Structure 1
Amino acid sequence: MVPYPFAKPSLARKIILGYSIVVGLAMASGGYAIYNFSILNNITETVLRRDLVLAQSRSDILEHLIAEARNEAKYFILKDPDYLSLFRERGEAFDRVVKRMAGMSAGPDERGTLDKTASLHAAYAEDVSARAARLAEGKPVSLDEVPPPVFEELYGLITTMISDGRRSLDAAVIASNAQADKARQATILAVVLAGLASVSIALVIVRSIHERVRKLDDGTRQIASGNFAYALDDPSPDELGSLARSFNQMAAKLGELDRMKADFVSCLSHELRSPLTSLKEATSLMQDLVAGPVTPKQERLLKIIENDGDKLLRLINDLLDLSKMEAGMMPLNVHPARVEEVLKHAVQEIQPLAVGKGVHMVSLISPDLPVIRMDELRIQQVVTNLLHNAIKFTERDGTVTLSSTETPEGVQVSVKDTGRGIPPEAQARIFDKFHQVDPVMTGASGGTGLGLPIARHIVEAHRGRIWVESHPGEGASFAFVLPVARTPVTTGDT
């Protein structure tokens, strides 16, 4: 058994089916218009080819009959046989017209009337012939018999036929006009309905495809932003439905890979932190001469081990923090606090780095900023990270400015440097983890690409937002805003 072709319609079949309906409606409306105009054409043809000819023929037989009567009278008055010949010629013409009319008659009533007309005319001709014979025999013929009584009956019948024909012609014209109006209205209605149906079908097809493609586009954006839990709900069996299911499978696999990666990083970081901590403690004990005296060269080597160990521990701690933040497991110690104090502590912490590199630090902290609910240590971590990056990417004798102000959104903190700036193509991904701007463009190297992603997670956990503004050669400005909210922060609020 051959399956029904649209039981599981593909997208192409849906489009073909929809536009087939549109074409069918157009053909149906066109066929209906042709049908109505065909009826109108038949009526018009009947009026032109039959009714008008019959009307002219009725006038002709009346003219022939009147001419016969005149020739009859002249013959019996003047006794001139030429008038009798003219009478008979007109009679023959009369008979020919009646015969032609009989061939064009449409119904029995018309044929009956024409038969009676022919019969009366034959009687009239016989009466005239009989009186002409008596006149030829020298018998007297009374002029009172000219024309005979049968003439009056025939004349009345023909005039009635003419009147009836005119009424019939008027009725045919009225019917033709009515049919023309009907055809015009029906055609307009059919075209309008077909057009509305066609537009509706096209809109349904386009809207259904556009809506589903829009959802797929939204899903792609969600996946690109890291939301691998996003799923499309499209049970349709066509190509877009199949694409949606493949999209969901892809998102699930990407989510699984992301979880595996996070678990791996978390596990690896945890396993590395313990021996590094032990190594750091052992180095500290050796520097404290617990294991005995050390030479200056050994002291330098121990310092290198200590510094590199600190870098590794910071990297591992950043990896663990980022893994917890992405999993929503990073607690926040949120309570009302003043931003000014947090900013001052961050400046004090980072000042030695600025002095060591020869970068000027400028603080423009507005007084009397509103108290906001925040985790002071985490917000200080954000500010310190932004200041550290600004100093790193600013050349000697440059300036790093820390400012704060109140805006309609809340309290805004900005860190601006006078470095080389960030290219526009790199700004879109500046907050992605492990992403680093090309050192050739920024004039600095190093870093893990984790500081800004961690800062973004911390700010967004406080219901704030963070962004960057930069033009190459004009430095960069990183800013974040924290809302002055009365509602508690969702993540780990205490």
Structure 2
Amino acid sequence: MNLRLGITGKLLVWFLVIIAIFYGTILVLYINVQQVVRLSGTIVAKNYAIASGTKKMMEALLSTEENKQKYLLLKKADYLVFFNEAQRAFEENLAQVTRLTTMGHEISDVWREINDAYATYPDAAQVSDYLAGEVKNPAAVDTFWVPESIINEWITKISVERLKNEEEIEYATRELNRKGRLSAKNGLVGLAVSSLVGLLGIFYLAYSMIRPLRELMDGIREISSDRLSSPLKVRSQDEFGELAHAFNEMSNRLRKEERMRSDFISMLSHEIRTPLTSIRESVNMIREEVMGPINNRQEKFLKIAGSEISRISDLLSHLMQASRLEPGLLNMQLEPIDPHTFVAECTNSIKLAAEAKTIDMRVQIPPQLPPIVGDRKQLQQAMLNYLSNAIKFSEPDTCITIGVRQHQSKNRLSFFVKDNGPGILEADQAFLFNKYFRGQRERERLEGVGLGLSIVKNIVESHHGTVWVNSQVGKGSTFGFTLPSAPE
């Protein structure tokens, strides 16, 4: 099953990908922040409470032992009061630590052991009741004291737990630092990935849109320049793929219609040529008085008829030649061609027509040029079409220039014909090499069907060359074609 996505679908998919990456990054950051908050809450609620409580408990135990010794030595009730206050401080801090279990925190079993052991001795409330009573039994005081060995044991255990708690705080602080750095890293990575995916998406979508548009524009240019475009490659199933399909169908239909038109013109020209030849021979026989003598008036009209028959015959020849000389259909006999010899042969062939209008022909060719490879007769026909047009549009007593230039890369040669004619309108220059095209001024002044330059284009493109023109109204025109030179 082929998944077909249009341009809107592609944009939506890429948008969803970016959104997924963005919210994925937010989710990871949220989880890391939750871990940081949980860890920091544990430090504040548990570790700081244990750190504060252990310090106060050790101070309280030392104070109880100190006041106990003073009371036993001096027998002053004040020391018993101080003993009771230190005892109460110890109980409060011990209760604060043991209450951590009710808050969901895990604490060492040492605190439960200390709490259970302390419960076997009179607590601060009992000592306070004794101090508040009016009748005091001195013998009861001896039951208040916790043995010094037990106090030392408790202080040792509390000190050990205090060290463990400090280690937990240090580990938790490091973990907080690591989580913080990890959160920042994940945020930057997520931002970078989102930006990269967005940028790649922009480039991909732009490329997927620009490439078919560029291919389509090239195909349209080929059709507009009277060339049949090759089929476009359909690389996608979106709107651009449908556009390429439509263009290929149009191009294929134009190709078929062009072939039908060429076949029709060729067939029609061939069918007309046979009776036309019979008519021309009949007119010639009458003019030569084979059928009997003719008068001057008959001679005049027969001459006009012969001229018109020749014009129609030339027109049919051009039509047949245009249908035959299309790129890819030429039967070429390739051979090395020397540019000097080639230009000399062309100028000699057109010399009489130039002399008839007293037009001077000048040749500009560098002394050493590499040869070209091509069909001599066809290339001569292309050059003679240029020369014929230059003579046709040039005024008498002017000159035309035939030349060859070598490109800087030295692997291409440009043949050109420059005249001093009226020039060509800029709007017409883009269509000069199209079939049957003739400019407005040429249609008004001269006869023709507009096939000469089209024939030149077909011949040159069959030799892997290009045709070109430079012209300004009132300053003449330069027509040329560029061909690859023969490899050394």
Fold match, TM over 0.5? yes
Aligned match of 2:479: 478
Aligned match of 1:492: none
Give 1:110's aligned amino acid: S
Mean Cα displacement is larger for which, 11-20 or 377-386?
A: 377-386
Matched residues in 2 for 1:374 and 1:153: separation? 113
Verify: 1:319 aligned to 2:285, yes or no.
Answer: no
Aligned match of 1:454: 455
**1:14–1:140 distance in 2 versus 1, CA, 3 Å:** closer
Aligned match of 1:391: 391
Equivalent residues of 2:387, 2:417 under 8 A apart: yes
The correspondence of residues 424-439 of structure 1 with structure 2, limited to 5 A, is 424-439=426-441
Matched residues in 1 for 2:114 and 2:335: separation? 120
Aligned match of 2:284: 284
Equivalent residues of 1:64, 1:93 under 8 A apart: yes
State the TM-score, normalized to the length of structure 1.
Answer: 0.80
Q: Count residues with an aligned counterpart.
A: 475
Aligned match of 2:99: 103
Aligned match of 2:360: 361
Give 1:400's aligned amino acid: I
Aligned match of 1:416: 418
Equivalent residues of 2:421, 2:475 under 8 A apart: yes
* SS of alignment partner, residue 421 of structure 1: coil
* SS of alignment partner, residue 392 of structure 1: helix
Equivalent residues of 1:40, 1:176 under 8 A apart: yes
**1:267–1:353 distance in 2 versus 1, CA, 3 Å:** farther
Verify: 1:120 aligned to 2:122, yes or no.
Answer: no
Out of 336, 347, 358, the residue aligned to residue 350 of structure 2 is: 347
**C-alpha deviations, 1:31-66, integer Å up to 9, x for none?**
122212221221122112321122112222223333
Give 2:469's aligned amino acid: V
The correspondence of residues 145-294 of structure 1 with structure 2, limited to 5 A, is 148-185=148-185, 205-228=205-228, 230-234=230-234, 236-294=236-294
State the TM-score, normalized to the length of structure 2.
Answer: 0.80
CA offset at residue 310 of structure 1?
A: 2.0
Equivalent residues of 1:393, 1:444 under 8 A apart: no
Matched residues in 2 for 1:102 and 1:230: separation? 88
CA offset at residue 467 of structure 1?
A: 2.5
**1:376–1:194 distance in 2 versus 1, CA, 3 Å:** closer
Out of 19, 25, 34, the residue aligned to residue 21 of structure 2 is: 25
Matched residues in 2 for 1:73 and 1:371: separation? 125
CA offset at residue 251 of structure 1?
A: 1.6
Matched residues in 1 for 2:333 and 2:174: separation? 94
CA offset at residue 117 of structure 1?
A: 3.8
**1:363–1:179 distance in 2 versus 1, CA, 3 Å:** closer
**C-alpha deviations, 1:378-428, integer Å up to 9, x for none?**
444434432332233233543323345777457754321112322334322
Aligned match of 2:35: 39
Aligned match of 2:10: 14
* SS of alignment partner, residue 478 of structure 1: strand
Give 1:48's aligned amino acid: V
**C-alpha deviations, 1:305-329, integer Å up to 9, x for none?**
2322222211111010000112755
Equivalent residues of 1:19, 1:202 under 8 A apart: no
**C-alpha deviations, 1:9-31, integer Å up to 9, x for none?**
33432332233223212322331
Q: What CA RMSD, in Å, does the superposition of the two structures yield over aligned residues?
A: 4.0
**1:76–1:466 distance in 2 versus 1, CA, 3 Å:** same
The correspondence of residues 63-82 of structure 1 with structure 2, limited to 5 A, is 63-82=59-78
Out of 31, 51, 54, the residue aligned to residue 50 of structure 2 is: 54
Matched residues in 1 for 2:243 and 2:167: separation? 73
Give me the identity figure in percent.
26
Mean Cα displacement is larger for which, 121-130 or 259-268?
A: 121-130
Equivalent residues of 2:287, 2:302 under 8 A apart: yes
* SS of alignment partner, residue 123 of structure 1: coil
CA offset at residue 7 of structure 1?
A: 3.7
CA offset at residue 450 of structure 1?
A: 0.8
Matched residues in 1 for 2:317 and 2:52: separation? 114
Matched residues in 2 for 1:329 and 1:14: separation? 44
CA offset at residue 253 of structure 1?
A: 1.1
Equivalent residues of 1:459, 1:482 under 8 A apart: yes
Aligned match of 2:88: 92
**C-alpha deviations, 1:131-163, integer Å up to 9, x for none?**
989x95567999xx8974443333333333322
Equivalent residues of 2:413, 2:483 under 8 A apart: yes
Matched residues in 1 for 2:114 and 2:455: separation? 115
Matched residues in 1 for 2:482 and 2:129: separation? 130
Aligned match of 1:303: 303
Q: Which runs of 5+ in 1 are unaligned?
A: 488-494
Q: Which runs of 5+ in 2 are unaligned?
A: none
